[in-house]
Structure 1
Amino acid sequence: MVSELSGARRAIVTGLGAAALGSVVPVGAQPGRNALSHAIAAATKGLAEPVPPLAVRALHRLGFGPARRKLKAAALPSGPDDVFNSDFESQGELGSDDIGYFNSLGGTDDERLEAYVTEQLAPSLIDDSDLEARLAAYPGSFAVSRQSLATVFSQRACRSFDEYVRPYREVEKLALTRAVYSRRQLYELTVDFWHNHFNVYAPLSNHTYASWHSWDRDVIRRYAYGNFYNFLYATATHVTMLRYLDNYRSDVRFNENYAREVMELHTLGAENYRGLAEPLGVDALETNPYTVLGDDELDDPSLAGGLALSSPSRSIAAYYVDNDVYEAAKALTGWRYRRSETGTSCDTAAFYTDDADHTGGQKSVLGRGLLTHTADLPAEQDGRIALKLMAYHPATARHIARKLCQRLIADDPPESVVTAAANTFYANRLSSQQISRTIRTIVLSPEFKDPALWGSKIRRPLELVVAAMRAGGCNHTFREDDPTNTSNDFINTFASTGQRLFNWRPPDGYPDHREHWQGSNTMVQGWRTIDWLTDRDAMDDSKRVMRIVDITLENIQGDPTARQVVEFWCNWLLGYTPDGGWTGPVGTPWSAAPTAIGKQALRFFIQSGFPQRDRNLWTEDSDPIPRDKFRVNQDFEDWNRRTRGLVALILWSPNFAQR
């Protein structure tokens, strides 16, 4: 089976299944610099598989992919000639299948998308009781993550590794479990986005490990849909960021590390950096962006040398230069957190400022060299004003908008949707719903719905593997106290893909462009992780992770033909069936299947082994497979292992990798 499955995979990746890859590397895209990426690009030029319906495209982009659960029996094909229709995705029980649920929300695609997005942007109103019950079943696994920062930090931060690493380990498993089982899919995807935008390398120190539950819960998850300035301030004052970018020790000899990253990555963006240019030489914005905010500090002339930062006559820089970084770094000196490196009590990690370590004096942040901070402002106020000047700047609006469009639509999103999103972000700078309104603008845009942009992204390893678990019927709660060790086994296997949660060392977060993820090592390790998932679908229920055989027997009546099994699993995992089916009507040989994925999947399922080319084990249609043979591997047929291999093959396919 290994050689047979590997042969089918090679066929899809290297050209026999070229059509299946067409949307993964569009014509004109620049592949990564490795042989596999070039082979994919060459094999796919000008070719494409069918484009999925909007329901499937939306659920791929607005979360970690649709969860396919048990459908009504009436939705199943009534005969072999009905296997190519699209009943699977249109008649699911309300709420039991994501695609069926999406399609129940209106009479048109536009109505359905708007209703679904409106619901997803109000996560507190979504019934997530199934997830909550799953987590409640293992209270000991997530006990630390429910405690306050002060409690956990004081008890664990300066003790043994097993003590201080526990908050991180719980959050990692919580994140996986939520991604797989939560109905709040857009929220979970957005949380992951912000963990990358405000990236902190969790293993940096005992203090970042010990505060990770609070970083995730009190900062990232709290503000994921909220106001960006409040979000930025919360990150800047939390122990994890203070420690990660060294601002906790910046004093009168100021450390520019945090100030540079907050400008380059968190707010204005590297695209708005003008290096060593003189501040007065930087172009000014046409109008002062701070005039209409009604912010007491920005409106106070005494804090900015007699001319309020909100004054219409104020000249505000359109870009930032090194001098702005240095001035912001000075404004942010003296920011600290309560800590102890020794003893049994590790202090509370609470934020405070130390004016004795603050760099006093006048400062100019984005002021084109003109005064924005008077001398001797308190450390906390000095830094707070600097963060406001960055957060409310139009360059920040465009930088954040582009990154959100890149996450939700395409690696290189159309400028039209970036502009629309930036306008929404900028217009809602004081709103508690600033981020959620920006997301709404993006996902209800014509560009989001444009089928021509489908496949403009591929799933990164996290999205690929979680999508596989959601589609393939994963039934495992990732938890800290796991006597089977399945949770840690999975994490150790997944870590080899290069995207273990919260483990990106540089401050820019995991890359969000295909070129980084199309290397052969990443792809192979992703395949191995999917292998691990499907191999765990053993006949022993205690070891089962994905219910592949159960799903097959629950949803296909009687003794199925090979074509029915392949058609079912293509539909179940890819979310739809194109006109004419994946493998063609009854009587179509595998070699004449109309789609590349259908051709290779059917070929794999009926053949005895690729070393003996094209020698069939079974026929496509005329020999029904006895149902009882799916449960156990026997003789030379191995229908249990073969069905799990079929699922793995589809999950490996470029069709499944598209976003």
Structure 2
Amino acid sequence: MSKSESALALPSRRALFKSRLNNRTLMRQVIARQESRRSRNLSDAAELPPFAVRVLTRMGFGPRRTELAPQSAPNPNQVFSDQFQRSPLLGKDDVAYFESLGRNDDERLERYVDEQLYGNLPDPEWEQRKAAYPASFDTLDEPLSTTYSERECQGFSNYVVPQRQVERAAFARACYSRRQLLELIVDFWHNHFNVFSGGDEDIYVSWAHWDRAVIREHAFGNFHDLVQATAKHPAMLHYLDNYANEAGGFNENYARELFELHTLGAINYLGNTSPLDAPLLAANPYSGLNDPLLDALNISDPARDIQSHYTDNDVYEAAKALTGWRYDDEDIRDENNVCTSGGTGAFFVNEADHDSGGKVILSGGLQNIPADRGALEDGEVAIKLAVYHPGTARYIALKLCQRLIADEPPESVIQAAADTFYANRTEPDQIARTLRTILLSDEFKDPANWGKKIKRPFEYAVSAMRAAQCDYTWRFDDRDTDNFLRTYEGTGQRLYWWRTPDGYADDRAAWMGSTTLVQNWRTVDWLLDENDDSDADRVMRIIDTTLENFPGNPTPRELVAFWCHWILGFTPSGGWVGDVGTYYAHEPTALGRACMQFITQQDFNGEEDSPPFPADQQIPREELRNDDWPNRWHRRLRGMVKLILWSPNFMQR
């Protein structure tokens, strides 16, 4: 057995027979085999998908199809319109839609990237689902002052609502939104500026505003604007204790993470080195920015020395600069001292709590923020010094390349992204330009970089929903949603629930443990089995999609071939399964063999050597829908689809 075949090797037929079509037995054994090989690249066991599938998987949450477009070669005489949304394939078959965008892969990718970054895409399906359940999403667009004042002091069941609504909306948006790159990058920034959303009622109640006005509003915009917005929001002010940072006893928590996680990163940290001994940059990076605050303090003078790395002293000085930053949390109480309304959550400064002395930040030990400049200005200058530093460009470029390409991306694309980020520091679309550099790079296109990452649980669950015809809106105060989220939480990546400031890990090794793999499978198992006997209420439309695409009675071989193609977005040149009349042990792909062995298994009479169900014998349509004994075809079909969703082919990115 080859190395690639072993990753999908199945248990004995006797074990399958004893499971009585309970695919949990099969899955547990597949999980054990994958865990034993977790250090091996997943692509060893998987066929390389076409370019369109690789792009859609990396730039979002994978292809979604509601119907398969006819397979046809691009028309070399076609004139491609910049009005992408006019394509008749839009919203029906993402793979075919991508293929319709140009005459070659480079042209298609450029058009798709620009559509995602600059297309101002309408988002009808998400908007329709949101409108269908107004009580589930009513805080998403509320002003902070409204949500905060009405809920902050009204008890857990009230102040928790914004966080719960955003959590549920994230699944619905990622599954149904056309703005796939936006949803992916929103998730990236939520982790980069991580706030544990369950940390306090002030965080819970301000979460919808944090998601909308901070993360989403600036996701493709200017990084400086994004950092300033995070620093002034009650969620961040409370989480990292800057609301309690005051003169005479400064709290360094926020300033520490500002440097270590949000801007320059630990890769640019010199520890307790004296600023006088820190290496200097060859040129002043703040010169020529035309920033009024930096110019007023003469920080932009080309002759000024600027450190190439930061030290502990820079953190301490920045913490002093950020003293006195506050948010309105003043409760209104009645004559019985009962809170009737919270504050507004609005940012303000308290000069009485501000350290008004001079500060020394990234300046080689020389004072660069004079005394008595005021709390707001001091804090904003400290943030600007960190944000506009070339070390920040390098760190953000590295993290974006790790998210979009590989855990260890090529140096060439990191440098290109850093150069774009740095050169566009004051541009309103700085982040979008940086993303464009990465996504149009040769390194992003290179098939050798495929499979260097796996899907984290959120990506895995959502991509399974998109691939296998989910038709359900995750919403507030709904039993099915609550049950799903309880199951999903076991994967270890509940949204906005990482307690430390570093956010969820973004490397492959962190998500290859047996606990995560088992819980990933349980999540998909829940999705495909929930309400499966109800035509109106089932979460995933497996049986419906099958019958819509087979006017007659399908065979097991046809079902395997169809669902591999539907979910994975392509069929390899040799097919997923062999020709009619061939035995499943000789299928051309490991995945085809696994699926054929599963769907044709039999032994209802207790005979170990009972032959499998004939691979090319037709299955009556009514048996697929009704799940009649003894073959239980509906159950078999769902189990086979789960195998595809559990395969290395589907898990890699």
Partner SS for 1:543: coil
* 1:310-330 deviation per Cα after TM superposition (whole angstroms, max 9, x unaligned): 111111000001000000000
The residue that corresponds to 1:218 in the other structure is 213
Q: Percent identity?
A: 53
Q: From 367, 375, 394, give the equivalent of 1:379.
A: 375
Q: From 331, 341, 345, give the equivalent of 2:341.
A: 345
Partner SS for 2:303: coil
The residue that corresponds to 2:129 in the other structure is 134
Distance 1:537 1:601 in 2: 23
Is 2:577 the counterpart of 1:583? yes
Partner SS for 1:352: strand
Letter in 2 for 1:580: G
Distance 2:516 2:88 in 1: 35
Is 2:484 the counterpart of 1:493? no
Q: Contact 2:222/2:428 (CA < 8 Å) preserved in 1?
A: yes
Q: From 550, 553, 563, give the equivalent of 1:559.
A: 553
Letter in 1 for 2:115: E
The residue that corresponds to 2:623 in the other structure is 629
Is 2:56 the counterpart of 1:59? yes
Distance 2:584 2:564 in 1: 14
Alignment of 1:292-311 (within 5 A): 292-300=288-296, 303=297, 308-311=298-301
TM-score, length-scaled by structure 1: 0.90
1:618 to partner: Cα distance = 1.1
1:486 to partner: Cα distance = 1.1
Distance 1:613 1:515 in 2: 39
The residue that corresponds to 1:574 in the other structure is 568
Distance 1:581 1:45 in 2: 20
1:527 to partner: Cα distance = 0.4
Distance 1:614 1:211 in 2: 62
* 1:505-534 deviation per Cα after TM superposition (whole angstroms, max 9, x unaligned): 000111001111111111101100000001
Q: From 410, 427, 433, give the equivalent of 1:431.
A: 427
The residue that corresponds to 2:326 in the other structure is 336
1:156/1:531 CA distance change after superposition, 3 Å: same
Alignment RMSD? 1.9
1:616 to partner: Cα distance = 3.7
Alignment of 1:4-83 (within 5 A): 5-9=23-27, 12-13=30-31, 37-41=35-39, 47-72=44-69
1:404/1:478 CA distance change after superposition, 3 Å: same
1:65/1:612 CA distance change after superposition, 3 Å: farther
Q: From 509, 516, 528, give the equivalent of 2:522.
A: 528
1:628 to partner: Cα distance = 1.3
Partner SS for 1:146: coil
1:547 to partner: Cα distance = 0.2
Partner SS for 1:204: coil
Distance 2:35 2:541 in 1: 33
Q: How many residues align?
A: 613
Q: Contact 2:195/2:499 (CA < 8 Å) preserved in 1?
A: yes
| More contact order relative to length (CA 8 Å, sep ≥ 6) | 1
Letter in 2 for 1:376: D
The residue that corresponds to 2:308 in the other structure is 318
1:127/1:332 CA distance change after superposition, 3 Å: same
1:556 to partner: Cα distance = 2.3
Alignment of 1:264-275 (within 5 A): 264-275=260-271
Q: Contact 1:553/1:627 (CA < 8 Å) preserved in 2?
A: yes
Partner SS for 1:344: strand
The residue that corresponds to 2:282 in the other structure is 286
Is 2:278 the counterpart of 1:260? no
1:13/1:491 CA distance change after superposition, 3 Å: closer
1:141 to partner: Cα distance = 1.4
Distance 2:602 2:364 in 1: 73
Alignment of 1:87-166 (within 5 A): 93-122=89-118, 124=120, 126-166=121-161
1:625/1:404 CA distance change after superposition, 3 Å: same
Unmatched 5+ stretches in structure 2: 1-18, 73-86, 334-338
1:340 to partner: Cα distance = 2.8
The residue that corresponds to 1:409 in the other structure is 405
Distance 1:568 1:172 in 2: 33
* 1:365-405 deviation per Cα after TM superposition (whole angstroms, max 9, x unaligned): 11111111001110000000000000000000010011101
Distance 2:518 2:198 in 1: 25
* 1:207-262 deviation per Cα after TM superposition (whole angstroms, max 9, x unaligned): 00000010001100000000000100000000000000000010011100000001
Distance 1:568 1:263 in 2: 51
Q: Contact 1:11/1:600 (CA < 8 Å) preserved in 2?
A: no
Q: Contact 1:537/1:547 (CA < 8 Å) preserved in 2?
A: no
1:427 to partner: Cα distance = 0.5
Q: Contact 1:71/1:93 (CA < 8 Å) preserved in 2?
A: no
Q: Contact 1:12/1:596 (CA < 8 Å) preserved in 2?
A: no
Distance 1:193 1:507 in 2: 14
1:433/1:543 CA distance change after superposition, 3 Å: same
The residue that corresponds to 2:467 in the other structure is 471
Distance 1:314 1:223 in 2: 31
Letter in 1 for 2:198: P
1:430 to partner: Cα distance = 0.3
The residue that corresponds to 2:633 in the other structure is 639
Is 2:517 the counterpart of 1:510? no
Distance 1:435 1:362 in 2: 33
1:41 to partner: Cα distance = 3.9
1:422 to partner: Cα distance = 0.5
Q: Contact 2:284/2:300 (CA < 8 Å) preserved in 1?
A: yes
1:115 to partner: Cα distance = 0.6
The residue that corresponds to 1:19 in the other structure is none
Q: From 183, 186, 200, give the equivalent of 1:191.
A: 186
Unmatched 5+ stretches in structure 1: 16-35, 77-90
1:317/1:236 CA distance change after superposition, 3 Å: same
1:211/1:439 CA distance change after superposition, 3 Å: same
Distance 1:233 1:614 in 2: 69
Partner SS for 2:140: helix
Is 2:237 the counterpart of 1:242? yes
Is 2:412 the counterpart of 1:394? no
The residue that corresponds to 1:22 in the other structure is none
1:592 to partner: Cα distance = 1.1
1:381/1:2 CA distance change after superposition, 3 Å: farther
Distance 1:447 1:2 in 2: 47
Distance 2:588 2:408 in 1: 31
Distance 2:515 2:484 in 1: 18
1:48 to partner: Cα distance = 4.0
Partner SS for 2:326: strand
Partner SS for 1:336: strand
Q: Contact 1:168/1:202 (CA < 8 Å) preserved in 2?
A: yes
Deviates more, 1:257-266 or 1:62-71: 62-71
